[in-house]
């Protein structure tokens, strides 16, 4: 019986790489997609050449607490278990704080941080009952060091780290580990949206002088969810090319 891994934001740059990696590692992936985006998700599924045995597309608005509670309870009923949760869905609404609108603040906190509650809460008790489970939260170097123009994003990504340490303390006795992967600047549409001159100046500060690949981030997730990661919990694994060492 394949283990089941639920991945939010699964068709984004990093989410897509994590999905492929875990499929290759023998997991069945529940790939969540945003309300109304079924066709996009189906196109992604087809382009990746997945089969129904490997990936199940699952509509979920990660910002909607009630919908997540209901849909994920149904998922547990249908599938019997969810072994791995990867909270990966995230957005940016960059801007200096003086110019930041309340909606740019709220959208990022809702999507990047409140989603972690919405998605993990309905699944965590079942993992504890089973005595086995993995939660991985995809944070960011910018949640650790803070980034000019990202008060909202840095706050949300830092929040994920505090959340993970607290939940790790709660899950440990039940065999449920909770860890963070904190990518640096990665070759994804999110980073490619940045102004080229800003991105160039950031690249120049990365000791490795290049972006991470999504596959490099995905391999860290694969390690933490594997048997090799069984005794690691409450930890943050940075994958940032040396951009920030702490």
| Number of shown-chain residues binding ligand CAA (CB under 6 A) | 19
Q: Minimum CB separation from ligand CAA for residue 116, in Å?
A: 15
How far is the C-alpha of 212 from the C-alpha of 215, rounded, in Å? 8
| Closest CB to ligand CAA among residues 16, 142 | 142
Question: CB of 2 within 8 A of CB of 28?
Answer: yes
Alpha carbon 37 to its chain's center: 19
Q: Are strands 4-7 and 84-87 parallel, antiparallel or unpaired?
A: parallel
Q: Minimum CB separation from ligand CAA for residue 177, in Å?
A: 23
Show the DSSP H helices in the chain as ranges: 13-24, 38-48, 65-79, 102-108, 115-130, 141-145, 151-171, 189-192, 196-203, 214-225
The binding track of 144-163 with respect to ligand CAA, each residue x by CB under 6 A or -, is ---xxxx--x----------
The binding track of 182-211 with respect to ligand CAA, each residue x by CB under 6 A or -, is ---x----xx--xx--x---x---------
| Closest CB to ligand CAA among residues 33, 185 | 185
How far is the C-alpha of 93 from the C-alpha of 21, rounded, in Å? 28
Q: Which positions from 165 through 184 interact with ligand CAA, judged by CB under 6 A?
A: none
Beta-carbon contacts of 128 under 8 Å, excluding residues fewer than 6 positions away, are 171, 174, 176
Report which residue's Cβ sits closest to ligand CAA: 149
* Residue 153 designated active-site: yes
Q: Minimum CB separation from ligand CAA for residue 99, in Å?
A: 7
| Closest CB to ligand CAA among residues 68, 108 | 108
Q: Are strands 4-7 and 133-138 parallel, antiparallel or unpaired?
A: unpaired
**Binding to ligand CAA by residue 142, rule CB under 6 A?**
yes
Of the residues 92, 111, 120, 164, which one makes contact with ligand CAA according to CB under 6 A: 92
Structure tokens at 245: 């060492």
Question: CB of 6 within 8 A of CB of 74?
Answer: no
| Closest CB to ligand CAA among residues 6, 239 | 239
Q: What residues act catalytically?
A: 153
Q: What is the contact surface with ligand CAA in residues (CB under 6 A)?
A: 92, 94-96, 140-142, 147-150, 153, 185, 190-191, 194-195, 198, 202
């Amino acid at each position: 019986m394949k283990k089941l891994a639920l991945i939010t934001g699964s068709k984004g740059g990093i989410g897509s790489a994590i999905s492929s990696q875990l499929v290759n590692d023998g997991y069945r992936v529940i790939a969540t997609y945003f309300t109304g985006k079924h066709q996009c998700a189906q196109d992604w599924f087809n382009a990746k050449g997945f089969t129904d045995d490997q990936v199940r597309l699952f509509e979920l608005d990660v910002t909607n607490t009630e919908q997540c509670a209901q849909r994920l309870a149904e998922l547990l009923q249908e599938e019997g278990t969810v072994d791995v949760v990867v909270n990966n869905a995230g957005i940016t609404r960059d801007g200096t704080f003086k110019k930041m609108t309340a909606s740019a603040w709220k959208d990022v906190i809702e999507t990047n941080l409140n989603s972690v509650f919405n998605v993990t809460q309905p699944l965590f008790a079942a993992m504890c009952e089973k005595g086995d489970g993995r939660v991985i939260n995809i944070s960011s170097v910018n949640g650790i060091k803070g980034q000019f123009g990202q008060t909202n994003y840095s706050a949300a990504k830092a929040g994920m780290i505090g959340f993970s340490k607290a939940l790790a303390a709660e899950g440990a006795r039940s065999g449920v580990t909770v860890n963070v992967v904190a990518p640096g600047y990665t070759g994804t549409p999110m980073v490619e949206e940045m102004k080229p001159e800003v991105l160039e100046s950031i690249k120049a500060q990365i000791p490795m002088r290049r972006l991470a690949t999504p596959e490099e981030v995905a391999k860290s997730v694969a390690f933490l969810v594997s048997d090799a990661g069984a005794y690691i919990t409450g930890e943050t694994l940075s994958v940032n090319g040396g951009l920030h060492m702490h």
